Chain A
Amino acid sequence: MTLAERVMNDLRRLLGADYLGDAWKQEKHLYIRTSSNHVEEVAEHITKRLDGRLIHLSAVDYGWDGIDVVYHYAFDHIERHFHVNVKVRVPADRPELPSVTAAAPQASWSEREMMDMTAVRFTSHPDPRHLWLPSEWPETVESGKFDEKEVLGRTDKTPEVLRRERGEWIPLAITPKAAEASLILLGPYHPLLIESAYFRLKVDGEDVVDADIKVGWNHRGIMKLFESRSYSRGAFLAEKICGICNVCHTTAYLNAVETLMQVEVPERARYIRTLMAELERIHSHLLWLGVAGDLIGFKTLFMLAWRTREHVLDALELISGSRRSHDMNLVGGVRTDIPEEIVPKIEERLKIVKSETRKLIDIVHDHPVARKRLDDIGVLDTDTAKSAGAVGPTARGSDWKIDVRWSDPYAAYGTEYLTWDVVVEGGKDAWARTLVRLRELLVSVDLCKQCLDALKRTGGLLQAEVREPNLEEAIGKAEAPRGELFYYIVSDGTNIPYSVRIRTPSYRNNAILPHMLKGYTIADAPIIIGSIDPCYSCTDRKVVVEEAATGKTQLLTVGNIHRKYRKR
């Protein structure tokens, strides 16, 4: 019995009369419609018994018809391409569903996000705080599909203003009383990250006793913006979600769009996409290595890694005309060709990158002080990684082989195009995650070379003809440098997507951070946070706010001294 049959049989038995129908879409994507009675059991059965993963949970607002909640389960790490999507329709007047967080902890953030973005309510959620929206916004934004004007009318009121009106505003400031509290708040502006993020560390001396993360400060309403622009323009918006993994974002987005349109990407375009994505992975991992070096105070490593990274950026600039933000991918293919005369130039740069990378690996691998800072720090065991749904190098460093490139091949990653191996390390600590990335660098250089060789033999079209979307919904995935990237696009047949749902890798890994921080010191906090390679512009396409400041816990950040505390 194949896995697909087993899953279907199990679900049929489990759901009984609530099994309202199924459909196969895409390549081995099973969509099952059911009622809201059995969501918890399904989640428990799939994640615990069948060893599936809950990737994300999307809620799509259909106005008066109600809200579709889609649970995206993936089995691709067991059987290639195989996904199961369980759909539940909840009525618009009483949009309630039981929470599956107890059964599958991965769902926690997704459920919180969907509660923010749509009117759906997950009853019995253990932590139903607003994830993205300011706590001052009692209603949701996307339910504004009913009355958009009203929602937009509220936009000129910032959380600050609203809080002042409600009389809850406490100027964020440093007071002696708060300094006594053993609550250390990292962020939103903290040198640890160039982006804004916000951690609450409860400390005893230097030891972290408890931790809480509030990602945010980065919300740009991108999922809403997607709904107001055509598929081809959306590619450029996807490019701007994250500045580090922009090719991966567009690739994932276009994987979904091309599936919707049932467009086959030409072979040469596939290789070019893969080349760009792999170059980007090299750039991202080198960037990460530098930043991680900086986080443990190794400025020289930062400089050396970033010196090497410049060669990759040069190669990317040669191809696309821009160091970052390449705008290469279009619906159905790529925009510019890679002419033959620049191929040797790229090969030359790759050669430099390879030798420099080996040097960097030598330096880090045997450096006594660096190893002391990385070994046995931020341990994430395999079971926790699985139950919390870690992705990317974080999971691979915890001895769990998941990689979208291998499990759900897209672009030219399939075995018919390229040969390579997934890097897995069993160390489970920050050093293992470092090692995964370092080894992936070499794999990526090799992949780039294979792509360049393939470009020499392939020719033909760069872009396939674009059609109208004729599927209802599609899932697009890609392996970003940080892990699995997930797009779910719902189409209504027009040239504008009806709804776009995105789950970025950092989103998942960030949710595990509080768990990983516990038991280490403040000095370790930066490298633990850094070891998952958090990318908050990815994570916070949507917003988060710190809770209404109560009297006791106030922000104690670098960024906090109110004007009235100034003295000239």
Chain B
Amino acid sequence: MSELDLTLKQKVRTYSPWVFHAHAGSCNNCDIEIAAIFAPRFDVERLGIQLKNNPRHADILLVTGPVPKQSKPMLRRVYDQVPNPKVVLVVGTCAMTGGIYNFDDNRPNYALAGPVGSVIPVDVSVPGCPPKPEAIIQGLVMAVRRLAMR
């Protein structure tokens, strides 16, 4: 489906995605790279993307970190609070599989509740440790397209 055939509803969703960043036990690398995409060098407000501090105002949920057991219910709750339609974008290796913290699948880390995908449905993933901000923007653009199709 090409972008030209979008309805108004889908168009405005593409035009103004708002982002909430949920930190689920990551080491901070991905978090500061996410903050960096809102800083002057990469400023994603060009695309209409805004960082909101409130899940109730958000369309896209950015999640980082390997989800410690403690964070799991919180993450789930934040996900529930994002009004529909919503898209989950997972940033970083440890959010995707546990990365270095989940070194061996046979001997799981006692502290982790599994990757983000096991807690909430994931739409787009950005591998990297941490991904370069360009990669995060690329992931955001993918997420925006999915948001429009919801």
Contacts and interface: CB of A to CB of B under 8 A. Distances in A.
Contacts of A151: 110
Interface stretch (A153-161, A367-375, A425-433, A473-481): A153-161
Interface of B: 21-36, 39-41, 53-55, 65-66, 68-74, 77-78, 80-81, 94, 99-101, 103-104, 107-113, 129-130, 132-133
A219 B69 CA distance: 8
Given A158-B73, A219-B68, A220-B68, A325 B130 contact: yes
Q: How large is the interface on A (under 10, 10 to 19, 20 to 34, 35 or more residues)?
A: 35 or more
A217 B68 contact: yes
B100 A243 contact: no
B68 A160 contact: no
23 contacts: A134-B69, A158-B113, A172-B73, A191-B53, A194-B21, A194-B34, A217-B24, A219-B68, A221-B109, A224-B111, A228-B103, A228-B107, A243-B28, A243-B29, A243-B32, A306-B40, A309-B39, A323-B133, A325-B130, A543-B111, A558-B55, A561-B81, A563-B80
Contact of B112 (A160, A221, A236, A323): A221
Nearest to A192: B53
Contacts, number: 171
Nearest to A134: B70
Interface string A183-227: 000001101001110000000000000000000111111101100
Contacts of A309: 39
A535 interface: yes
A243 B64 CA distance: 12
B81 A559 contact: yes
Interface string A295-333: 000000011001101100000000000011100000000
B77 A562 contact: yes
Interface of A: 134, 141, 151-152, 154-155, 158-160, 172, 188-189, 191, 194-196, 216-222, 224-225, 228-229, 236-237, 240-244, 246, 287, 290, 302-303, 306-307, 309-310, 323-325, 535, 537, 540, 542-545, 558-563, 566
Contacts of A306: 35-36, 39-41
B53 to A, nearest CB: 3
A132 to B, nearest CB: 9
A272 B66 CA distance: 31
B38 to A, nearest CB: 9
A544 B70 contact: yes
B23 A196 contact: yes
Contacts of A141: 110
B108 A189 contact: no
Contacts of A237: 100
A219 B30 CA distance: 16
